[in-house]
Amino acid sequence: MELFRTLNLNTILPLCDLALTDSYSDVWLDCTFAQIPVLRYSPKNMINITPMKLEQQIEYALQNKITLTQKAKELCDFFERKNREINKIADMLIERAERNRYNSCGHPAAHLLK
């Protein structure tokens, strides 16, 4: 086991089997997209964790890495799908706004955009 303390997760995530963090969504999101299982403990919860409990949870996460990785992949696919949907809606709204702008200002080419 090696411990890394860095702000640039993209350089170390390919080397990791599991991430243990006290951070919130920023690290979790990076690990999800890298398909690395994450154990997250808040500083408050770290006080209550014993080495044996931590070892059991790490072993469980590593044994279930395939399942966790599949769920992370599904989550990434979901994010990408939703992003494409949002982009389509944004494009439609921009196009509609441009049409309305041309129509409202009496632009000579307004009849072409209808």
| Residue 62, domain member (yes or no) | yes
- What would the DSSP string read from start to end of 2-18? -----S-HHHHGGG-S-
Owning domain of residue 18? 9-113
Structural domain count of the chain: 1
Q: What does the mean pLDDT of the chain come to?
A: 78
Q: What is the band of 23 on the pLDDT scale with cuts at 50, 70, 90?
A: low
Asked whether residue 95 carries a pLDDT value surpassing 80, the answer given is yes
Task: Confirm whether 73 is domain-assigned.
Answer: yes
d(CA 4, CA 50): 21
* 2 inside domain: no
Q: Report if residue 48 sits inside a domain.
A: yes
* Residue 85: inside a domain: yes
Q: Model pTM? A: 0.46
39 lies in a domain? yes
4 inside domain: no
Mean pLDDT value across residues 96-101? 87
Tell me, yes or no, whether 1 lies in a domain: no
Q: Tokens 């890495």 sit at which residue?
A: 65
User: Given this model, what pLDDT does residue 81 score?
Assistant: 93
**43-94, pLDDT tens digit by residue?**
777 777 777 888 888 888 777 777 877 887 888 889 899 999 999 999 999 9
Residues β-bridged to residue 19? 38
